[in-house]
C-alpha cells in the first residue's frame, strides 16, 4: 500500500474553499468544461448535489475590492458518501491553476470531512491516460484496486480504461478493512 502524504503540509497558498452549492453550479460547470471532454452542465451538478450524502467544495482565489479584482474560480470536487465509504464523483482544477496545490487542498478538506463523519474508505475513477492525476492520487495514498475496460470515450472515438483507486481514511465501522 502506498504511504499517504499529508496534503495540508503544502505551502499555504491563497486559496479559499467554500461549500459547492446550487448557487455556484454554473461556475462549477464552466470549470468542468476545462477538464473533461464530456462536461457536466449546471443542471447535472445541481442534481448530483441533491443526492443524499453528496457534497462539494469550490476553490477560489479571493478577489480584491480595492484593486477591482473579482474572485477567481480555481477548481471544485464533488463527493458522495454512503455509510462508511465515499466516492469522488469528479474533481477538476482550472487549466491555468494546475500544479499549484489546489487539488491537494481540496482533497485534504475532503479527507478531513469524511473522517469527521466516520467514513473509512474513499474511491475514485481516473482515466488511465491522465498521468498527472494518477501521480497525485498515488502520492496521496490511493492504490489501484481495479480497472473498468473502455470506460471513457474520447472525442476521437478512442476508448480509455478507468483505473479504480481507493484510499483508506482510518475509520472502518462496517468491517470491510483494517
Residue 68 pLDDT: 66
Residue 76 pLDDT: 98
Q: What does pTM read for this prediction?
A: 0.85
DSSP string, 85-128: EEEEEEEEE-GGGTTSSHHHHHHHHHHHHHHHTT--EEEEEEET
Given a contact cutoff of 8 angstroms between Cβ atoms, the answer to whether 58 and 24 are in contact is yes
Quote the CA–CA distance of 33 and 41 in Å, as a whole number: 9
Residue 63 pLDDT: 80
Kindly indicate whether the domain formed by 11-62+69-168 is annotated with CATH number 3.40.190.10.
no
**Nearest CA-CA partner of 59 in 40, 80, 73, 49:** 73
What is the mean pLDDT, run by run of 10 residues, along the chain of 178 residues? 41 80 97 93 97 97 77 96 96 94 96 94 96 96 97 92 95 52
Amino acid at each position: 500500500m502506498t504511504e499517504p502524504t499529508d496534503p495540508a503540509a503544502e505551502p499555504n497558498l491563497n486559496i479559499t474553499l467554500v461549500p459547492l452549492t446550487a448557487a455556484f453550479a454554473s461556475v462549477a460547470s464552466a470549470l468542468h468544461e476545462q477538464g473533461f471532454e464530456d462536461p457536466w452542465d449546471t443542471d447535472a451538478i445541481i442534481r448530483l448535489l441533491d443526492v443524499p450524502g453528496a457534497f462539494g467544495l469550490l476553490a477560489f482565489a479571493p478577489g480584491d475590492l480595492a484593486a477591482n479584482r473579482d474572485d477567481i474560480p480555481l477548481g471544485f470536487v464533488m463527493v458522495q458518501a454512503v455509510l462508511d465509504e465515499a466516492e469522488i464523483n469528479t474533481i477538476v482544477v482550472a487549466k491555468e491553476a494546475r500544479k499549484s496545490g489546489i487539488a491537494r487542498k481540496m482533497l485534504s478538506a475532503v479527507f478531513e470531512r469524511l473522517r469527521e463523519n466516520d467514513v473509512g474508505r474513499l474511491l475514485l475513477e481516473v482515466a488511465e491516460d491522465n498521468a498527472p492525476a494518477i501521480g497525485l492520487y498515488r502520492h496521496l495514498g490511493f492504490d489501484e484496486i481495479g480497472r473498468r475496460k473502455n470506460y471513457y470515450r474520447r472525442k476521437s472515438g478512442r476508448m480509455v480504461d478507468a483505473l479504480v483507486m481507493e484510499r483508506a481514511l482510518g475509520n472502518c465501522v462496517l468491517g470491510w478493512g483494517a
